[in-house]
Structure 1
Amino acid sequence: MTIIAAISAYFLSMASTRGHALYNQTLRIVHASQFFASNTGCYPGTLAALGTAGANGQATGLDGCVPQQNAWNGPYLTALAFNGQNVRIPSDQSGATGTVAQIETGQWLDGNPAMQGRGPEEIAIVLGPVSSSAQAAFCKACNGCAGNGQETASACFTASGDSIGYVFATAQ
Structure 2
Amino acid sequence: MSKVEKKHMLGYLRVSTDEQARSGLGLEAQEAALVAEAERRGWELTILRDEGASGKQVNPGLRNALGQLASGLADGLVVAKMDRISRSLLHAVEILDTAKSQGWALVVLDLGVDLTTPAGRALAGTMAVFAEFERELIRERTRAAAAAAKARGAKLGRPSGLSAI
How does the TM-score come out when normalised to structure 1?
Answer: 0.25
More helix by share: 2
